[in-house]
Structure 1
Amino acid sequence: MDAVSGLGQARRVVVKVGSALLVGPDGAPHADWLADFAADAARMRARGQQVLVVSSGAVALGRRRLGLARRALTLPEKQAAAAAGQSALMRAWEEAFEPHGAACAQVLLTRDDTEVRRRWLNARATVETLLGLGVVPVINENDTVVTEEIRYGDNDRLAARVAQLVGADVLVLLSDVDGLYTADPRKDPAARHIPRVPRLTPEVEAMAGGANAEGGVGTGGMATKIAAARIAAAGGCATVITLGSRTRPLAAVEGGERATVVEPATTPAAAYKAWIAGSLAPAGALVVDDGAAQAVRRGKSLLAAGVRRVEGRFDKGDAVLVRDEAGREIARGLVRYEAADAERICGLKSEAIEGVLGYTSGPLVHADDLALAAHAEA
């Protein structure tokens, strides 16, 4: 895959934008850059693509608003600056996208939101709903509440986790260099640009962690971007690393400007299904009738109406087995109800669930969250 075709054909794109692009030396937003980027994203949205933004900048904007000196901030000062700056950051994004008729929505995440399954499901459902409504999610780490022990560490890593969360096809990391080089191009005129990385090897990582350590905005430079690309690749997502300071950087990549593409190891859907099938210990089981078993084998969601029995004690978001009445495993999936509520709605039609529980989370296990057993293919 090259950067041009990758960006042009992607259904869903996550773009990470760092503070250096968003905030000027005076601590104010780069309004012109934001306007150009929003026009760039609007062009992609107009052809049916979904764009999510992972945005730094809250602390930098909040520092100016609170009058904090240009020095290293204590953790409480950093959290206060994030609290003061997040509203300014969202206002800047809203003003940039408003001329294109696109609404923005703030999504603040902590590491637990992408590591704890129940919170992961909730975060994904929220973002999916926003995208379905045509909204541009603007995502940042919730710096007002996280501590150093529970941080993502940098927004490159956060962006990669978001790409996994939403099953993105391409992750774009906007940097202050136009990709990965064999050596630091600012120090070695013989350094070669690497346009394509089919597989992340120790040699590639050594380039990023050594000669390219200063390349790229953020705390870790190119090394953090390659680490993020590894996370994304495992989730079936390609990564594009390119120069962010260009006018309309996404269009520039599609126009053939330099970038480095790190190819994915698989597809987003296959990676997710493999994770469900092989990486999670089941906390219980749902025993289903023949009709539900056949529906699941055909790739349909598991509805409460087809469930005959609930086994085990599990919470929303836990992995469960799906078995037929003869005890054969059909699939594994992430359940959307805790065990007690699942028992209460066994055999009920979907429209009756809210009347019993007072809420509904849709099917017991959505088709997207089901991985068929190897012998259960229809």
Structure 2
Amino acid sequence: MLTDVETLVIKIGSAILVDAETSRLREDWLEALALDLSALQDKRIILVSSGAIALGRQRLGLFGKSLTLAQKQACAAAGQSRLTRAYEDALGARGIVTAQALLTLNDTEHRRRWLNARSTLETLLDLKAIPIINENDTVATDEIRYGDNDRLAARTAQMIGADMLILLSDIDGLYTADPRKDAGAKHLPVITSLTDEIKAMGGEPNAATGMGTGGMATKLAAADIATSAGSDMVICDGREPGALAKLWSGGRHSLFKAKDNPRKARAQWIGGTLKPCGCVTIDKGALKALRDGSSLLPAGVTSVSGTFEKGDAVSILSDGQEIARGLIAYDHPQADRIKGLKSGEISAVLGYENGAALIHRDNLVML
């Protein structure tokens, strides 16, 4: 299953990581996860993990009742440090470096913040660390939060161009009906298209399941995001220790096939979906460099026009013709100030730098 996978996002729910009765961490499960991940150190891996609120309940003694928003935020604050330390201890014992990253809805929907988050995650992956992502429930409100980590995991997979997203769940995949209520429900091993019929199998949105806030409806919403971005998605039963190893060896699961590969899906998004907010004109040397697959450096830019912010889409012109499009790394005034400069001169002019490239090759598509 993982032969061609380079970048992998794994989502872990509260009900898997934390015991429902005691709100205590399932340490044996986490140790088994660390063992499974140690066998995948040739992959780029991100974990999206729930559990902070559940662990915070135990620390603050808030058992057996529904929580107000303020109480949820308090539990998240009390539990997040415990969650981070648990991953650090378990994975560190296997020689794996971890890093905490707390995101909100705005971080994955606002282009500037999206680029900043993506840059941080890419740097961590390049340094062979495993980012542990959770929604920042301490500050998020109902109006600016995902509310479930299935969709956050899908947005993360989209953000970094993951080849695969794995949702470790309390069920081994998608069924034609709820198998706990319908003995005739059939398991679907491969889903090639998210038709209306398939989406209807998810039931009502946001159906509560134990300590978690997701349900099959949110998992299908995640599948829609991930597969549209070029990532395959898997739902499998993650309750038993060694769930990943079982999946690698052919354990039962449902595979949602991507519509395209991540790089092509991202190129289509940049080239055909985003409306350019400005233009940069380049010289012949920069044109050749772009055709050879390089990033656009300030030295090759002769003029800048339009009004744009960091993360906006801009057109790249040569001889008056649009030859490429990309997400720019600097606001319009800063881009105008550094045009024509060598990359090493950016800091001296701006007092900082946001990378040597005006448009990184990963954020650029030739037209």
Same-fold call, TM cutoff 0.5: yes
Q: Counterparts of 2:130 and 2:364 in 1: how far apart (Å)?
A: 28
Partner of 1:330: 323
Distance 1:228 1:217 in 2: 19
For residue 282 of structure 1, give the secondary structure of its aligned residue in structure 2. coil
Q: 2:230, 2:58 → 1: CA distance?
A: 39
Match among 40, 43, 48 for residue 44 of structure 1:
40
- Provide the rounded CA distance (Å) in 1 between the counterparts of 2:26 and 2:236: 19
Q: Quote the residue 2:337 is aligned against.
A: 344
Q: Name the counterpart of 1:354.
A: 347
2:10–2:47 contact (8 Å) kept in structure 1: yes
Paired residues for 1:231-310 under 5 Å: 231-310=225-304
Tell me the distance in 1 between the aligned counterparts of 2:38 and 2:13.
19
Q: Does 1:199 align with 2:199?
A: no
Q: Is the 8 A contact 2:236 2:253 kept in 1?
A: yes
Distance 1:306 1:267, change over 3 A: same
Counterpart contact for 1:8–1:254, Cα < 8 Å: no
Deviations 1:176-229 (A, max 9, x none): 11001122222222222110001111111112227x968897324111111101
Q: Residue 376 of structure 1 aligns with which residue?
A: none
User: Identity of counterpart residues, as a percentage?
Assistant: 53
- The CA deviation string for residues 313-351 of structure 1, in whole angstroms up to 9 with x for no partner, is 211111111001x21101110000111111111111111
Matched, 1:20 2:15: yes
Moved more, 293-302 or 124-133: 293-302
Asked if the contact 2:150–2:214 (Cα under 8 Å) also holds between the matched residues in 1, the reply is no
Q: Equivalents in 1 of 2:128, 2:104: separation in Å?
A: 24
Taking the aligned partners of 1:115 and 1:215, their CA distance within structure 2 comes to 26
Structure 1 stretch displaced more, 63-72 or 254-263: 63-72
CA–CA distance in structure 2, aligned partners of residues 365 and 213 of structure 1: 42
> Any idea what the Cα deviations from partners look like across 1:225-276, whole Å, max 9, x if unmatched?
1110110001000000000013311211111110000000111111111111
Supply the distance in 1 between the matched residues of 2:227 and 2:209 (Cα, whole angstroms): 21
Q: Give the match for residue 25 of structure 2.
A: 29
CA distance in 2, matches of 1:218, 1:226: 16
1:1-378 superposed matches below 5 A: 5=1, 7-24=2-19, 25-45=21-41, 48-209=42-203, 218-324=212-318, 326-360=319-353, 361-373=355-367
- SS of residue matched to 1:209: coil
* C-alpha displacement of 1:37: 0.6
What amino acid sits opposite 1:354 in the alignment?
Answer: S
Shift of 1:69: 3.1
Matched residue count: 365
Aligned pair in 2 of structure 1 residues 144, 26: CA closer, same or farther (>3 Å)? Answer: same
CA distance 1:312–1:276, shift in 2 (3 Å)? same
Amino acid at match of 1:175: S
Structure 1 gaps, min length 5: 374-378
Rounded Cα–Cα distance in structure 2 between residues aligned with 1:140 and 1:246: 22
What's the CA shift string for 1:37-86, capped at 9, x where partnerless?
Answer: 111111111xx111110000001111111122321111111101101110
- Given that 2:308 and 2:331 are in contact with CA atoms closer than 8 Å, whether structure 1 keeps it comes out as yes
Letter in 2 for 1:263: K
Distance 1:299 1:131 in 2: 22
Partners of 1:94 and 1:214 lie apart in 2 by 29
Q: Indicate if the aligned counterparts of 1:215 and 1:222 stay in contact, CA closer than 8 A.
A: no
Task: Flag the 1:63–1:351 CA change in 2: closer, same or farther, 3 A.
Answer: same
Equivalent position SS for 2:201: helix
- Does the Cα contact within 8 Å between 2:15 and 2:210 map onto a contact in 1? no
Task: Indicate if the aligned counterparts of 1:176 and 1:217 stay in contact, CA closer than 8 A.
Answer: no
Counterpart amino acid of residue 17 in structure 1? I
2:341 & 2:100 partners in 1: Cα distance?
Answer: 36
Rounded to whole Å, the distance in 2 between the matches of 1:56 and 1:220 is 11
Unaligned 5+ runs, structure 2: none
The CA deviation at 1:23 is 1.0
* Equivalent residues of 1:176, 1:216 under 8 A apart: no
SS state of the match for residue 208, structure 1? coil
